[in-house]
Amino acid sequence: MAEKHTILGGKVHVYQRETGTKWQCSAYLDGRNRRVSTKETSLTRAKDFAEDWYLELRAKKASGGLLSERTFGVLELC
């Protein structure tokens, strides 16, 4: 079973997939679910990474710099 933790009052989820050794994190912000690998094997360091990542996302949103990822359909048009 995959291991899961929440931080920042449930705003950020830190989890490890069953087949993986690295921790992942996700957050729902600005109408989208955003995910990234922490590239950490230590839960403590992964939580620190996830907190910093989320705060950076919030800062980008506040400054108008939070962009949505491009989809495969958009990439095909380029």
Provide the residue-wise pLDDT of the chain in tens; the chain has 78 residues: 689 999 999 999 999 999 999 999 999 998 889 999 999 999 999 999 999 999 999 999 998 887 765 555 555 554
Considering the entire predicted model, what is its pTM?
A: 0.81
How many alpha carbons lie under 13 Å from residue 32 in its C-beta half-sphere?
11
Dihedral Cα 40, 18, 53, 58, nearest 10 deg = -170
Residue 55 lies in a domain: yes
Residue 12 pLDDT: 97
Residue 54 lies in a domain: yes
Are 47 and 5 in contact, with CB atoms under 8 Å apart? yes
Domain range for 26 is 3-64
Domain count, the chain: 1
